[in-house]
Structure 1
């Protein structure tokens, strides 16, 4: 028979990976949902007319049997209204359109407008990817806002799981500061600077040994036309570090520590953190392992989620600023 002590340790190790697995699953599900929903287009025209005409048009559009997602919005979509349509204040259209439906939707709108007898602006507008896609860098600011809002539910789920299981395991609050405040903040800042320095030194050495390779964060180069916008800073400097540090440091390490000890738990955290960044390979994966080791060490020295947030968020913002300065 398997000793009960071993079973208990294996159970704790499995439990320590619960929140990281939950985080990966929730993020993947919501990202897939968001990108799937974003691939819908909208067809719009702007009209004006008598109240009776507009009421008839509104009924025809909102109750259309073929295009159920009708829009009738007085003063709507002002940001997209062409200058030639300034005098036309009612936006009428169909949304949630696939690409092959666009021409049919335009023809249907034209027919409904003529039947209602309203005056129509000649400009016809298509809004592609009506819900901004986080994969579309041309609408990056809007898509980041959408992404941040859409992730509220998975964030709430992670927090509920953390506190629910944390109470059962008698874990301390992640906001507890068992070390002196200045020391805690100092270790966090040192972690951010040390992580950036380690990546830079390692990257230069690697480039000398194998020209053309690097350990830079490729994701930074895809942060749209304004990588220093507020939404980007919030995403890479606050939101993402909060979720990852809560799951991989504030949860994983103290739970796994009960089974295998502090530093083996830190090593597990490091490898689990690198695993979620797959399919990074080679130098990129080595860089992620280094960062995971730095952030785990910050937690081990401070036992503080805020220190880890400073280290992780600070590293991301510093790396972002360095990238912008280098490219710019």
Structure 2
């Protein structure tokens, strides 16, 4: 008999890890698709010249028979333009290049520049995985594919799994905010502030014991020239927290709770949340454990995914703003 009671518990615990495992698998497939299957590397140069020279160069670059994705953008790619190229405000180049095409594309670009007679900055920049912008109508063919991979596929799959399996467990709808609403969302905001204080305080303590190279470096590196731009805020403050909180809190905790109780379920949520953020060194690992525990506590007290989203997204945005304000 005890063995029969144990097996359903093990099954529930395994089921509670379904959405986290699905999230990890979907995001891994997305990263693989973007980094391995669809190269979007680019070679750039910045030039200046007479209208006639620029017109000739534009025709040669945009209409090149081999590298068919030519760019001619006055004032373009300013975020990537080296300081020594400040006087040259016309960006030219080839995009959507495979790795083996980078060197030939650069040599071709140099030859076209010399043939046109324009004055060019000698600096060239390679932007790896330079994905198209959804705001650029000329790149919508590619950007729609990117958006489908990045947004619709993971989000839709997780929501379908949540509602499909959640019906059997009478789980609440993801957007439900229990009354009183202000108290529920206030606890989420308190979780964001508590996470910021705890993680930054822990990072300060580790900084006393470990040299800078062991504490993770610049946390906002790789987010572009404007880490506080609206797309970045939406990504780190809304989209990523929604997926993680749906899987690790709104799904994992109530399902696992039926097998082992609330506190062990929260502990499992914290450990699983930390595991997907490995590997880390020093304060990042301990800080992620703290954050996982805080977000799990927010869910335990509110039973609200929106409250967890406020806690997680609020922490991400506050920490990002803090690091942007203090770096340099």
Which TM class, normalised by the smaller chain length?
0.7 to 0.9
Q: What's the counterpart of residue 272 of structure 1?
A: 272
Give how far 1:326 is off: 1.3
Q: What's the counterpart of residue 132 of structure 1?
A: 130
- Residues 226-305 of structure 1 aligned to structure 2 (within 5 Å): 226-305=226-305
CA shift in 2, pair 1:29/1:47, >3 Å: same
- SS of equivalent residue, structure 2 residue 220: helix
1:201 aligned onto 2:201: yes
Contact 2:43 2:102 in 1 (8 A): no
Unaligned runs of 5+ in 1: 49-56, 62-66, 112-119, 135-143
Q: Deviations over 1:279-310 (max 9, x none)?
A: 11333211100000000000000000000010
Contact 1:248 1:269 in 2 (8 A): yes
| CA distance in structure 2 between the aligned counterparts of 1:171 and 1:15, rounded to whole angstroms | 14
Give how far 1:154 is off: 1.8
Q: What's the counterpart of residue 173 of structure 1?
A: 173
- SS of equivalent residue, structure 2 residue 280: coil
Contact 2:202 2:283 in 1 (8 A): no
Based on CA coordinates, which of the two structures has the bigger radius of gyration? 1
Contact 1:299 1:308 in 2 (8 A): yes
| CA distance in structure 2 between the aligned counterparts of 1:326 and 1:148, rounded to whole angstroms | 32
CA shift in 2, pair 1:217/1:172, >3 Å: farther
- SS of equivalent residue, structure 1 residue 151: helix
Q: Deviations over 1:130-150 (max 9, x none)?
A: 85159xxxxxxxxx9996664
Give how far 1:39 is off: 4.5
Give how far 1:167 is off: 1.9
Query: TM-score, normalising length from structure 2?
Result: 0.72
CA shift in 2, pair 1:324/1:148, >3 Å: farther
CA shift in 2, pair 1:255/1:70, >3 Å: same
- Residues 1-328 of structure 1 aligned to structure 2 (within 5 Å): 3-36=3-36, 37-41=38-42, 46-47=58-59, 61=65, 70=68, 95-100=96-101, 103=104, 128-129=126-127, 132=130, 150-152=149-151, 153-208=153-208, 210-212=209-211, 219-328=219-328
Contact 2:41 2:95 in 1 (8 A): no
Contact 2:42 2:94 in 1 (8 A): no
Unaligned runs of 5+ in 2: 46-56, 78-86, 133-142
Query: TM-score, normalising length from structure 1?
Result: 0.72
- SS of equivalent residue, structure 1 residue 265: helix
RMSD between superposed Cα atoms in Å: 4.1
